[in-house]
Structure 1
Amino acid sequence: MNNNNFNLQNNMGNQSTGISNYNGQNYFPPQVDVVEDDAAVYYICELPGVNPDNLNVELSDTDIFIEGNVNSIGQKQMNFLYQERRKGAFFRKMPLPVDVDNNNTEADFKHGLLKITFPKTNNF
């Protein structure tokens, strides 16, 4: 499995990956598009303002887990007059596509978009 700029882990056989951090926490779910072409299935996740060091993507036998943290802008304390952008911890658990090659999954994180590519198998 290839990774680019952040932590992509393959934990096949571990059904509880990420769940212990999920229970009892207030997470927001990032928005994800799932699209395909003839070669692959793509999960494209919007993560504006996320530092790659604060991003973790894991695979189990059946699911993909995306988690991390969006920090506030700047280092100094600011008083918001109006706030729409989310900040804090995020978490998303989604089923893996069927008939894809999980061992050759690739991920790329650029310009606030996480793109995870699952190549299709001949069975697709």
Structure 2
Amino acid sequence: MHGLVQEIAALIAGTCMVRVFDASGYRPPPPARKRRDRVTPLAEVRDALAVRELREALALRPDTPVMDWMSGTDVILELWNRDGAQHATIGLLSPDQLRHDDGELRLLDPGKAARWLALGAEYRAEVWHRRPPRL
């Protein structure tokens, strides 16, 4: 298993809250004193079951090569840990790839992340501010 795969798997495993953004309007978080410039997320998911399902959907193929497609990201996920700190920002490219700062990796179950987004929009409407984009 590639070291980057292990590193990202550990980040995902430590996630307790997720903020979902449409990639077209996403900007990295500004310093705390400039929060007025922050983009509103599509969703803030704190429900333990929903976060667990996302962690499962983001499982990476152990044999995945690290790639650099340079293509646009559809959805941005900010991953937050138990201490309430953002510990990673990842993107989803199409239904089967995850983008990290160090490259793109293939998901173990293509389409599971897209299904998670669709279920979130339909069944967890109370946490979604707007409908997520389709992957």
Shared fold (TM-score greater than 0.5)?
no
Structure of greater Rg: 1
TM-score between the two structures when normalised by the length of structure 1: 0.25
Relative contact order, higher structure (CA 8 A, sep 6+): 1
Greater strand share, structure number: 1
Structure 2-normalised TM-score?
0.24
| Bigger share in helix | 2
